[in-house]
């Protein structure tokens, strides 16, 4: 399978490392021989129809850009590469923009219009235009997969779609953002919101500008993706009622603790309402996890409640989700 990799940050580099470490067993166990034939970052590109040398590609990135892979290599426009390089799959791994969805949305649309399957770890396009992107994928007869957008390496979307197949999920709720969960867990230990946020930044769990997490945008984006994929809804970010955690005080946390509860940023969906807000949760509830863990409880019509818990972020974890999507595309499309 020939791959165009757009975006070579933490996830893109982790994916390259994963292919290096697993190339032999990928073929023996799954019949997959992935080749990255083009890679683009924000400063340059590298192209090789025979497949890029991944160790050399990673070394080039250490020098500043994959454009250093070849001396004098031209910087191509990502859309030009997506449309003109022969490949079966495009992996969209550029940074998330929840305001415009760009440049990821344009990359995905160009890939699908030229008959390429798409794996996205970029939440922006899916949070803002999920229904139309799925429609475009169906129209062009290609697959759009996005396991890494929710739960990192934890197969939350697959669990809901496959393990609960045959039943009907009527609602779900959970913790979808590890950064806010870490902050709230630290507040349980007595830290103020400001001190817990500073600690999260120091440990690398929160960005320098953490509002994407703390204001609930990241959780809302994941909620939208899940609602569309799992519940068959047709919703976008504007359909989510969203409240972040910046208003939570230590006194609120202590008050909840006195009742045997904890305050968590809960993303919830039933057939009508999409909501992200700080919520009191019983400490006996399986979704009441601490630190950077994610947890989701699905309520089904017949099988009751099922909870899945795991790490929600990390380069290698998300790269493993990309690999899972790649194997699914191979199994679904290339064995027809």
Q: In what order do the strands lie in the sheet with 117-120?
A: 45-47, 35-40, 2-6, 89-92, 117-120, 144-145
Greatest alpha-carbon pair distance for the chain in Å reads 65
Q: Give dist(CA 120, CA 96) in Å, integer.
A: 10
Q: Is 283 known to be catalytic?
A: no
Question: Is the CB of residue 231 less than 8 Å from the CB of residue 167?
Answer: no
Q: Give dist(CA 257, CA 80) in Å, integer.
A: 56
Residue 250 CB partners (closer than 8 Å, separation 6+): 187, 190, 191, 192, 193
Nearest to 293 by CA among 144, 153, 146: 153
Eight-state DSSP code of residue 265:
E
User: DSSP letter string over 153-168?
Assistant: TS-HHHIIIIITTTS-
Q: Which of 61, 123, 186, 222 is catalytic?
A: 222
Neighbours of 82 (CB within 10 A): 27
Name the token pair of 175.
């913790």
Exposure of 63 in the CB half-sphere (CA atoms within 13 A): 13
Question: Is the CB of residue 214 less than 8 Å from the CB of residue 183?
Answer: yes
Going through 101-179 in order, the beta strands assigned E by DSSP cover 117-120, 144-145, 169-175
In three-state secondary structure terms, 46 is: strand
Q: Give dist(CA 226, CA 146) in Å, integer.
A: 11
As annotated, the active-site residues are: 222
């Amino acid at each position: 399978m020939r791959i165009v990799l757009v975006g070579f940050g933490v996830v893109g580099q982790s994916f390259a490392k994963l292919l290096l470490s697993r190339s032999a067993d990928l073929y023996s166990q799954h019949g997959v021989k992935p080749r990255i034939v083009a890679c683009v970052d924000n400063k340059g590109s590298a192209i090789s129809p025979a497949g890029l040398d991944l160790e050399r590609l990673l070394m080039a990135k250490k020098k500043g850009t994959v454009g250093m892979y070849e001396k004098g290599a031209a910087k191509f426009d990502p859309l030009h590469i997506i449309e003109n390089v022969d490949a079966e799959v495009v992996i969209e791994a550029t940074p998330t923009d929840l305001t415009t969805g760009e440049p990821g949305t344009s990359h995905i649309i160009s890939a699908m219009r030229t008959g390429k399957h798409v794996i996205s770890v970029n939440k922006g396009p899916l949070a803002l235009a999920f229904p139309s992107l799925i429609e475009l994928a169906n129209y062009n007869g290609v697959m759009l997969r996005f396991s890494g957008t929710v739960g990192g390496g934890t197969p939350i979307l697959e669990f809901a779609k496959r393990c609960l197949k045959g039943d009907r999920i009527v609602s779900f709720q959970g913790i979808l953002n590890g950064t806010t969960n870490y902050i709230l867990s630290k507040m349980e230990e007595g830290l103020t919101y400001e001190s817990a946020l500073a600690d999260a930044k120091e440990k690398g769990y929160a960005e320098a500008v953490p509002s994407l997490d703390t204001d609930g945008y990241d959780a809302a984006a994941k909620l939208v993706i899940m609602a569309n994929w799992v519940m068959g809804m047709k919703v976008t970010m504007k359909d989510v009622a969203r409240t972040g955690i910046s208003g939570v005080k230590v006194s609120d946390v202590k008050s909840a603790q006195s009742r045997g509860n904890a305050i968590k940023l809960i993303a919830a969906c039933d057939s009508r309402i999409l909501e992200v807000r700080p919520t009191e949760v019983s400490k006996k509830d399986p979704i009441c996890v601490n630190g950077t863990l994610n947890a989701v409880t699905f309520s089904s019509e017949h099988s009751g409640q099922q909870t899945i818990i795991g790490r929600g972020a990390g380069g290698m974890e998300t790269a493993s989700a990309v690999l899972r999507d790649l194997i699914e595309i191979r199994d679904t499309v290339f064995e027809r």
